[in-house]
Structure 1
Amino acid sequence: MTLNAHFRARAEIDLAALRSNVRALRARAPGSAVMAVVKSDAYGHGMVPCARAALDAGATWLGTATPEEALALRAAGVGGRVMCWLWTPGGPWREGIEAGLDMSVSGLWALREVTAAAKEAGRPARIQLKADTGLGRNGCQPADWAGLVAEARAAEEAGTVKVTGLWSHFACADEPGHPSIALQLAAFKDLVAYAEKEGIEPEVRHIANSPATLTLPETHFDLVRPGIAVYGVSPSPELGTPASFGLRPVMTLKASVALVKQVPAGHGVSYGHHYVTPDETTLGLVPVGYADGIPRHASGRGPVLVGGAWRRVAGRVAMDQFVVDLGPDGGAVAEGSEAVLFGAGDRGEPTAQDWAEAADTIAYEIVTRIGTRVPRVHLNDLHDLHDGDERPDDDDPDDH
């Protein structure tokens, strides 16, 4: 197969697969609402199209890290409830209030800034109080929880905020049986019970991320917050494969072979000559590199499907390109042939997990790091169809 000549490389994003994944996650937590996390440009998949597809499939909340991401969703006309949690002093609190965001508060400084913004806006802010139950990142320490709850309750009585949620985040939900899971869950229940005793009446209580959504039903509460699982990537190989959870990877990364050439035995390949051809062979140039998000740590190991066979990166990954050894006959590969770096894996191609193992990292990083000069091509986008167009069948594998 050859790619459209316009494309040096592209990331194909199958929104039918994403919708199917959201439905599968909803089935895992039938008594809970679903927040599809679309932070970091939807883990590299394209935030706005993915957000819309998630809502189409029944997610009722969207989650972002930064307020700028959340405001970008609103600017694009995306509806649903939108929550954002990574605030810094001086952030766009008033803009968030006016956009109807749910904004996380982890400390008194944030509560005071958001209440001041609510007074300026002339309307109450929707906030969610985050507890640090053991992850040790953002969130209010248990020792400080009473003070935060008291001030939030006073702000509610003053009409400047409405506490819509109480939440936390697991440290080790992707490690089956880790003792911190039970400890964090117990701490969360205690902190929620205290806040409710003090008069907080949240709409939602939530702690379940992707691994907890998939494997820990006792953590589901009113809302689950799947992130990487929405995109069909398993949060941990120890938990299971995407297929074992009824998920399908959404991103397929392709490039067009830029050059095919014969070289003699003993020919050095790429910087440092860490690969030297053992025999006369054919080299293929794949025009993506670490500037596109291809991990340099996968030099010599990253897998690519070219000409119907798996190849490995030969030598170092450079900024804009890498090389594969196609063997003596070149495997019928020519300029313009398709090189598939990763995809769903059911058509013989490597997966993001294969690249993660080659680069000693996690699959989250592989999909999220794909750079902006690789265009995202969104397939099966219901919002791009004109009236009368045939809509793709999400249950038909040919539409994937």
Structure 2
Amino acid sequence: MLLVKRPLLVAVPCFLLVLSFFFYISPRPRSRVQPARTPLTQPHGQHRFDGAWNYARDHDSLLLTQGECDLAFPDLFADLERAGVVRADRPITLGEIDSISPRNGYIRAMIHDQQLYVIAKEGAVWSREIATLSALNRAILTSPEPLPNIEFAFNTDDRIDDTAQWGYARRPEDELVWLMPDFGFWSWPEIKAASTKEILLDVERAEREGMNWTQKTDKLLWRGTSKLDHEIRNNLLSVTEKKPWADVKSLDQDGQQSMHSDYKTMPEYCDYKYLAHAERTSSSGRLKYLQMCRSVIVSHRLDWIQHHYHLLRSSGSEQNFVEVERDWSDLESKMKWLRKHDREAKRIADNNVKTFRERYLTQAAEVCYWRRLIQEWAKASDFEPEFFTEENGKKVQRGLSVETFLLMRAMDWDS
């Protein structure tokens, strides 16, 4: 027994001695304050919201609860609240959804047990439908709270009927349309526009590398397509022709050569102090990109509304854009005033960045809006979706999971 115990009596003190030595030489935690993280080094998806919006920390957080969304974006949900009031005494019925006339861009879908399903479609499935379903699905999958079961329809066309469906834009009289973020928040490859997150990174990188206010071109920039029936855009071209304060061109005037020589990337847009915004068929998806720049947005009076347009301010201490007449008749006088009052122009540009780029157009704001849309639609509906239908006496699941639909881009396995 002594032969067994003696090695143990020696080994234990030796082990403790070695352990204390390593503890002594190991680095101690430092109490100094760590520097604030920049947007580029913020760990993706880290959730540390403390009740007060902090752009550098929170802009990419996809994990905010609804209560936290309310604190972070108190003014974001105005159009959803409007839509809820409209349906307060007349709930949305299944019959209304059934009565929508499907046309190109139509998607009917449901959310059931936190899973998005596509029930029906009309026409070809283009990038718009894919982008919208992908963005909606991201908001569902990252929600820290359960979302209600709903059934709904949306259409990705520029103009949609004033019925109980979701759309990218509406006119003031279109009271039944519920606004959703447009497809460009996900990506818009047709115009060589990446996701809003990628554009934001490019623009902020350019600013850090020296693109400051004094270095910007002191002109009004606009690029876009224009045809004979585009009165607003043609008027803009006419009013700005040969003006020393304007760099305004139509990209379709000279065909492919124009697209090659006159096309501007988003960081190149941001090189200008003034950026013109013009509607086309309905609203223009361009505005959210312009709002990424520390520039003065100059827009005619708008006929169309998107989900964040109520945040535009044309006067006062929070002014974040400059509004002109719909025919651009006062554009020259306002441009001359802005160029003579550079400090005021910069204040408007800074407000634009503070309101939109650094808050209400972030990925965090987008997922918060999608989830509130789901919740408000559920409150306004008098039915929940049926997950099964009956065919030949058997229960059959309705629709396809969004994952399957996005891969097939069709409702039929054999398509």
Choose 1 or 2 for highest CA Rg. Answer: 2
Q: TM-score range by the shorter chain?
A: under 0.3
Q: Which has the higher strand share?
A: 1
Q: Give the structure-2-normalised TM-score.
A: 0.25
Q: Give the structure-1-normalised TM-score.
A: 0.25
